[in-house]
Amino acid sequence: MNYLITIVGPTAIGKTALSIKLAQHFNAEIISCDSRQFFKEMSIGTAVPEPEELTAATHHFIQHKSIHQEYSVGHFEREALTKLDELFTHHNTVIMVGGSGLYADAVINGLDYFPTIDASVREGLNKKLDTEGLESLQNQLKELDVETYHQIAIENPHRVIRALEVCIGSGQTYSSFKNKPKTPRNFTTIKIGLTADREVMYDRINRRVDLMLDKGLLKEAKELYPLKDLNALQTVGYRELFSFFNNTITFDFAIQEIKKNSRRFAKRQMTWFKKDAETLWFDYLSPTDSILKEIHSKLE
């Protein structure tokens, strides 16, 4: 029997540290499903594991793409399943870790498939984004598909436009194409979630942002500023600093916005992950031994 142990939870909760401990315990390798850590130009702002963490266990899908490459959840699903087939020939357990719920779900359950939409629909929505702003698109999505409006990362223009183009191009809601029967997987998934009291979670996020700044986030964002319109860079931590470089907001306000938007992101992550009743939740301070005990009870 092949087992995929997944570790989920909000940003800055300690998923990386736990994944390494589990990988070492099971002599396993790690697949990252953090959709922003895929890109090699984005290290500090995406909290890529430290070099010593990357050498403590074998990692896959960390900084393996360029922000100039189009890389979707569909690409990731196909590549991750191929990698899992390869890893399961040597190990019966693999660890998957990351806060990108959609990407984790694609590997575990398979993607929903949507109709092909005429490119002119997306072009029109991109023009509307430029002329009327993101809020206009958010309101349109709320009218056409309120379920999706409450489920997706509503501050991500790419996600909003994708949902809208399906609604407009198909005449059906984006949500109506979801949750259809999927291709069965050749592994059993054990889902581990890390959490903390909200005040603790938010404090950890605030401190992580400060640490990113100490490590050189401002310099990294400055170097990426000429590429600010790329989809990969529509990310908390970069967007706000781009606004600072534009002289739209002050530096202090940009930092407060990064912290605020990171906290909002964490809240959305928890909303997504808490929907899955199969996830075994642990406080982030739980001893690794207690987590392993639960895992081994599932393995048996």
Residue 114: band (very low, low, confident or very high) from pLDDT cuts 50, 70, 90: confident
217 and 24 Cβ atoms separated by less than 8 Å: no
What pLDDT score does 178 carry? 81
CATH topology of domain 119-177: Histone, subunit A (1.10.20)
For the domain spanning 3-111+182-299, the CATH number is: 3.40.50.300
**Can you say which residues are annotated as belonging to the binding site?**
9-16
Every domain of the chain and the residues it spans: 3-111+182-299, 119-177
Residues 36, 160, 197, CA angle at the centre, nearest 5°? 60
Task: Compute the radius of gyration of the chain from its Cα atoms.
Answer: 19
Q: Are strands 3-8 and 30-32 parallel, antiparallel or unpaired?
A: unpaired
Cα(222)–Cα(224) distance, rounded to whole angstroms? Answer: 5
The reported pLDDT for the residue numbered 196 is 97
pLDDT at 158 (0 to 100):
87
Numbered residues of the known binding site for ATP:
9-16
State the residue for tokens 């223009």.
Answer: 157
pLDDT band at 64 (very low <50, low <70, confident <90, very high): very high
The pLDDT value recorded for residue 147 is 94
Residue ranges of the binding site for substrate = 11-16
pLDDT score at 241: 98
Secondary element (H or E) of residue 282: strand 280-283
Query: What sign for the dihedral angle of Cα 231, 148, 38, 182?
Result: negative
Residue 230, pLDDT score = 93
pTM (two decimals): 0.82
In the prediction, which pLDDT does 46 show? Answer: 96
